[in-house]
Amino acid sequence: KNPYLSFKFKGAAKGDKLTISWVDNKGGSDSVETAIK
């Protein structure tokens, strides 16, 4: 119902944009974009 996503990665700098897109198991989809702090 309320999924939680956590991950780590290297190679980004402050101000870079990160976009995450997904499709769930019911066919719904969305995306979100944020800047690295």
pLDDT in tens, the chain (37 residues): 677 888 898 999 999 999 999 998 899 999 999 999 9
Residues 20, 24, 25, CA angle at the centre, nearest 5°? Answer: 155
Domain chopping of the chain, boundaries: 11-37
Quick one: residue 25, left, alpha or beta (phi over 0 = left, psi -120 to 50 = alpha)?
alpha
Is the pTM for the entire model greater than 0.85? Answer: no
- Which 3-state string (H, E, C) describes 9-21? CCCCCCCCEEEEE
Q: What is the pLDDT of residue 3?
A: 78
